[in-house]
Amino acid sequence: MKVLLINGSPRRDGNTFLALSEAARQLEKNGIETEIVQIGVKPVRGCIACGQCQARQLGRCVFDDDICNRVSEKFDTIDALIVGSPVYYGQPNGSVLSLVQRMFFSAGDKVQNKPAAAVCVCRRGGATSAFATMNMPFQMMNMPVVTSQYWNIVYGMDQGQAALDTEGMQTMRTLADNMAWLLKKIHAGDAPDYPAREPWQGMHFIR
């Protein structure tokens, strides 16, 4: 089993990376393979709603000039996903939102039913609103949202300060333990791989 962790911070070794690394170490202790992907500092396109990924059944975004498709290609080989982001003005980093939106729209079938969790790192406030925003796509993809002992929030401003948030680090370890437990239950083979789904009944409130 493998968990992909996406570091949605432009700072490679910042506080978001520390939080995700704590979760990754605990997952490894539970026998779960991990990979942390850095979003980097290069531009990430926003979705322009062209619909070409769906119309042409590409399984990827039609634009291939950033990291989007390189990350979504990993969906075939993972069993769960954790997305971390710093908090900017009470919101997740815009680049990670663009990444998730494009990946899920173009390759969302590859993450259906795979457990997921969001992690937010902030100096002081705004983490709960950012955390709620990051969880919404998971619910639309039928992804079981993995919980912890508290919201998955870690505090710290300057590089390395997240390690001083002892409760936040414990929250990351508890999140990892819960995710490992759920993955092992899913892979125990005593239940269907996923529930039967009704055909989608989209409603746009326009007659």
Residues 32-85 have pLDDT tens digits of 999 999 999 999 999 999 999 999 999 999 999 999 999 999 999 999 999 999
Residues 98-129 have pLDDT tens digits of 999 999 999 999 999 999 999 999 999 999 99
| pLDDT surpasses 70 at 170 | yes
- Domain harbouring 130, CATH code: 3.40.50.360
CB 61 within 8 A of CB 106: yes
- The reported pTM is 0.95
Contacts 24+ apart (CB under 8 A), 141-144: 141/104, 141/108, 141/111, 141/112, 141/116, 142/112, 142/113, 142/194, 142/197, 143/81, 143/111, 143/112, 143/113, 143/114, 143/115, 143/116, 144/113, 144/115, 144/116, 144/182
- Is position 199 within any domain? no
What residue numbers bound the domain in which 21 lies?
Answer: 2-186
Q: State how many domains the chain has.
A: 1
